[in-house]
């Protein structure tokens, strides 16, 4: 199998594996791999800010947002330290 061109931070061997195992075109496979890498390198603070903004856009109130985010943090593959509601608010609002 020929090597695929490496994209920024995307291992070409992993892209080749995704292409072979899914049949996705190389460009699509590279984007999927890049998205997954980005997801797993997101810091706790980035995750909290992103999820807070997403939930607010869906008109979810903060009283419901904090428990949702805390639960999601507990279930991430690389588990973050448990954060209190106050710590979560400080991440978002400073």
Check residue 67 and give its pLDDT. Answer: 96
Check residue 8 and give its pLDDT. Answer: 66
pLDDT tens readout for residues 36-93: 988 888 899 999 999 999 999 999 999 999 999 999 998 887 767 888 999 999 999 9
Q: Output the six-digit token pair for 51.
A: 């999820």
Q: What is the secondary structure of 5-64 as a DSSP string? A: PPBTTB-HHHHHHHHHHH---HHHHHHHHHHHHHHHH--HHHHHHHHHHHHHHTT--HHH
Q: What is the secondary structure of 44-56 as a DSSP string? A: HHHHHHHHHHHHH
Across residues 14-24, what is the average pLDDT?
96
Check residue 7 and give its pLDDT. Answer: 58
Cβ atoms of 92 and 85 within 8 Å: the answer is no
pLDDT tens readout for residues 27-36: 999 999 999 9
């Amino acid at each position: 199998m020929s090597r695929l061109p490496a994209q920024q931070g995307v291992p070409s061997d992993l892209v080749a594996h995704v292409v072979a195992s899914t049949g996705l075109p190389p460009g699509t496979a590279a984007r999927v791999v890049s998205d997954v890498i980005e997801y797993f390198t997101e810091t706790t603070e980035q995750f909290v800010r992103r999820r807070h903004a997403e939930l607010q856009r869906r008109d979810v109130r903060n009283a419901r947002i904090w428990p949702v985010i805390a639960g999601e943090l507990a279930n991430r593959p690389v588990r973050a330290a448990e954060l209190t509601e106050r710590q979560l608010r400080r991440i978002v609002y400073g």
